[in-house]
Structure 1
Amino acid sequence: DTGKNEILQLLPPPPIREVVTKSLFPEREFKLECGGFSDRPIYSLKCVPAALLSQTDVIKPVSAIPTENGHPWARIATTAARAQWVLHGSTLDSVHITEVESRKNIYVAAPSSSEELSGLAFLDCNTLLLCCANGQLYLGDVRQPEAPLEAVSVPWELGDERWCMGVRQTAPGSASSSHPIACLSNRGHITLTDVRKPSEHLASAKCSVPSPSPNAEFLCVSWAPALEGCLAISGFDGAVHVYDTGSWDSSSSPAQPTFVHKGHMFGEEDSNGEPPLLTAHTWHPQKPRTLLSAASDGTLHIWDWVQPKGTRG
């Protein structure tokens, strides 16, 4: 054991990247583009636009921000609108924006509560959206660093459930100011709202999850960047569940997924005999129905899902 933590940047195999396939082929390997080693554990990665690439295989820390109250890691977000800005924090009163190369503090949130953060995002170059683990949303403005964060009235109860959020970003140059937000609880409840009218929910559903999430740190909900009304959730088991929110109605029955990727569930069991748990997933930025997912056994999958006949596409 060298105590090193390896970070790799991989390219999918050409047959999967260039040809639409219906299944994975485990014997095909990803191509290593670059990589490096860190002396510290890595919990989350984000692309920083316009950042310079390291010319060495040793990854050097830029700066260190201690987490608060024993929380395992800070949440981070980046934006193409502000090159090299990183939004980060582990609690509501530890939210910062740091410029990577200069290490300059661009924004420090005004003192607030020590509620644990489960997610944060740039809505545009000046507006921040923060989600607490208890489901409370807050708005911040980079231009008003001393102003208190604005608590958003949410159309769900703040109880003992843990929540995470996913924000659908508008395409660069788009005239639309809409930012649909999906908030997901560890019991499988999803509520959709818009930051312009956050107290009015657009839709809600109880997803068909096997049981509450065993580890809320791995809860993940994300919007498909190139498919209207389509989102994916994970963190409940070894599967990624894809939903078409346009088909949700007001009935009390659980919403049924359009597609479920179960490939990780057949990986190696842990020391307790439990199957792998999905730790993260993300959508391909250009290919509408291509996703990547990772599990607790270290596996990484890239896969496509097929729209069933007779449904909207």
Structure 2
Amino acid sequence: MEASEDWLVESLRLYQDFHAFDLSGATRVLEWIDDKGVFVAGCESLKKNEILHLILPLRLSVKENQGLFPERDFKVCHGGFSDKPVFDLKHVPETRLLLTSGLPGCSLQVWQIAEDSDVIKAVSTIAMHEEEESLWPRMAVFSSVAPGVLHGARLSSLKITDLESQKIMYASGVGDREALSSLQVLGADTFAFCCTSGRLGLVDIRQKWAPSESPGPGSGGGRWCAEVRSRDQDPGPSIASLGSNGQLCLLDPRDLCHPVSSVQCPVSRPSPDPELLQVTWAPVLDNCLAISGFDGTVQVYDVTSWGGIESQVEPLFTHRGHIFLDANELDAAPLVTTHIWHPCKPRTLLSAADDASLHVWDWVDLCAS
């Protein structure tokens, strides 16, 4: 208990805000709808899983240091139930539509947020033509006048489907059966993919399939995920690729074959569940990113000075709240399942763990203060 008590005292200095909540079940998804609402969804097998639209507490907008506030004051705005686990959820911008996927991965579910009630209801299904026992389709949304969903479990099954007509608007048309770990829409006609092997590609759908590619990290093994930084941020390496052993590579999209830097993050162990690996760029904090999926922490890094190959780097900040807050045994520490940056507040993140805890935290920049 001493370590937990020490952390509680230290947290008063480390955090500008810290709010801790308990969900009814663990979630693997956190998806924004504007800067005040977020979607969560259960990911457990053999039960109905809640899909909830939560409004963040008003107290998060207060400026002064509030310390710790373990409380249950998220407001449930809408809710529904899924018959299968939800491993991914996307909100279609400027609509009341949601998309979910999970195992068994034979389809995508389309949901609608009711205007005149608090219900999130299933409205249609987008069928997959490939039967995958252990893989589920990754997703990303093209938001345009006629929104479409990019989806696929492997490169060979990558498609863009029009949400209204459910017509296939684009398909990779290749036989390459590499499994995908992430998809990301970059613009009206471009997207990025990352394979579990670490292979990366940038695709222009106005052309026949001919992606700009990196071959991946080679024969090192392990699984990988990646995220591309928003193009309106500062120039420099804009692709971050994270391996299940804690290796983190930064790449320039103009030369995907030669990483700008490759570092080793000080993770406690290789990821026990590489499906939960995550790397995310801060939307309004220059050159910062966060990683999770190795243990009960979220690590934040400033990549400004990274270059070449470095043996190990140190995080700018590590959120340990899921380990210490209300934890009875350190050996049974939870595993962080997902995290997300606040779209407007520079140092505010949300993180969730497999013990159904949900944290909202804003760390203090001790160097600046």
Indicate the residue corresponding to 1:219 in structure 2: 277
In the alignment, residue 133 of structure 2 is paired with which amino acid? G
Matches within 5 A, 1:143-158: 143-144=206-207, 147-150=208-211, 152-154=213-215, 156-158=217-219
Indicate the residue corresponding to 1:241 in structure 2: 299
C-alpha displacement of 1:177: 8.3
Asked if residue 50 in structure 1 is aligned to residue 94 in structure 2, the reply is yes
- In structure 2, do the counterparts of structure 1 residues 112 and 208 end up closer, same or farther at CA, with 3 Å as the change threshold? same
Indicate the residue corresponding to 1:255 in structure 2: 313
Deviations 1:170-208 (A, max 9, x none): 24xx8x887710000001011101212222322221101
In the alignment, residue 226 of structure 1 is paired with which amino acid? V
- In structure 2, do the counterparts of structure 1 residues 83 and 290 end up closer, same or farther at CA, with 3 Å as the change threshold? farther
In the alignment, residue 138 of structure 1 is paired with which amino acid? G
3-state SS of paired residue (1:187)? coil
- In structure 2, do the counterparts of structure 1 residues 185 and 2 end up closer, same or farther at CA, with 3 Å as the change threshold? closer
C-alpha displacement of 1:3: 4.1
Indicate the residue corresponding to 1:105 in structure 2: 168
Match of 1:127 among 171, 174, 190: 190
C-alpha displacement of 1:216: 0.5
In terms of mean alpha carbon deviation, does 122-131 or 16-25 score higher?
Answer: 16-25
Confirm or deny: 8 A CA contact 2:51 2:120 kept in the other structure: no
Distance in 1 between residues matched to 2:172 and 2:197, nearest whole Å: 19
Distance in 2 between residues matched to 1:77 and 1:90, nearest whole Å: 12
In the alignment, residue 344 of structure 2 is paired with which amino acid? Q
In terms of mean alpha carbon deviation, does 37-46 or 48-57 score higher?
Answer: 48-57
- In structure 2, do the counterparts of structure 1 residues 2 and 207 end up closer, same or farther at CA, with 3 Å as the change threshold? closer
Deviations 1:88-143 (A, max 9, x none): 11111111112222222221111231111011112221112111110111232222
- In structure 2, do the counterparts of structure 1 residues 212 and 67 end up closer, same or farther at CA, with 3 Å as the change threshold? farther
Match of 1:200 among 231, 242, 258: 258
Indicate the residue corresponding to 1:228 in structure 2: 286
Indicate the residue corresponding to 1:64 in structure 2: 127
Matches within 5 A, 1:1-313: 3-19=47-63, 21=65, 23-52=67-96, 53-55=112-114, 56-65=119-128, 69-80=132-143, 84-144=147-207, 147-150=208-211, 152-154=213-215, 156-171=217-232, 180-248=238-306, 250=308, 252-266=310-324, 274-309=332-367
Confirm or deny: 8 A CA contact 1:213 1:236 kept in the other structure: yes
Aligned-pair Cα RMSD in Å: 2.8
Distance in 1 between residues matched to 2:318 and 2:310, nearest whole Å: 21
Q: Which runs of 5+ in 2 are unaligned?
A: 1-44, 97-111
C-alpha displacement of 1:309: 1.4
C-alpha displacement of 1:248: 3.0
In the alignment, residue 40 of structure 1 is paired with which amino acid? K
- Name the structure with the higher strand share: 2
C-alpha displacement of 1:254: 1.4
Confirm or deny: 8 A CA contact 2:300 2:315 kept in the other structure: yes
- In structure 2, do the counterparts of structure 1 residues 104 and 186 end up closer, same or farther at CA, with 3 Å as the change threshold? same
Indicate the residue corresponding to 2:108 in structure 1: none
Distance in 2 between residues matched to 1:10 and 1:130, nearest whole Å: 29
Indicate the residue corresponding to 2:28 in structure 1: none
- Given the two structures, how large is their TM-score scaled by the length of structure 1? 0.87
C-alpha displacement of 1:23: 4.5
Q: Which runs of 5+ in 1 are unaligned?
A: none
In terms of mean alpha carbon deviation, does 186-195 or 12-21 score higher?
Answer: 12-21
3-state SS of paired residue (2:250)? strand
- In structure 2, do the counterparts of structure 1 residues 262 and 156 end up closer, same or farther at CA, with 3 Å as the change threshold? same
C-alpha displacement of 1:154: 4.7
Distance in 1 between residues matched to 2:225 and 2:53, nearest whole Å: 26
Distance in 1 between residues matched to 2:277 and 2:224, nearest whole Å: 8
Q: How many residues of Structure 1 are paired with residues of Structure 2 in the alignment?
A: 304
Deviations 1:199-241 (A, max 9, x none): 2322221101011001100000000011111000000001100
Distance in 2 between residues matched to 1:2 and 1:188, nearest whole Å: 32
Distance in 2 between residues matched to 1:166 and 1:8, nearest whole Å: 25
C-alpha displacement of 1:66: 6.0
Distance in 2 between residues matched to 1:24 and 1:68, nearest whole Å: 47
Confirm or deny: 8 A CA contact 2:46 2:84 kept in the other structure: no
Query: What fraction of aligned residue pairs are identical, expressed as a percent?
Result: 42
3-state SS of paired residue (1:247)? coil
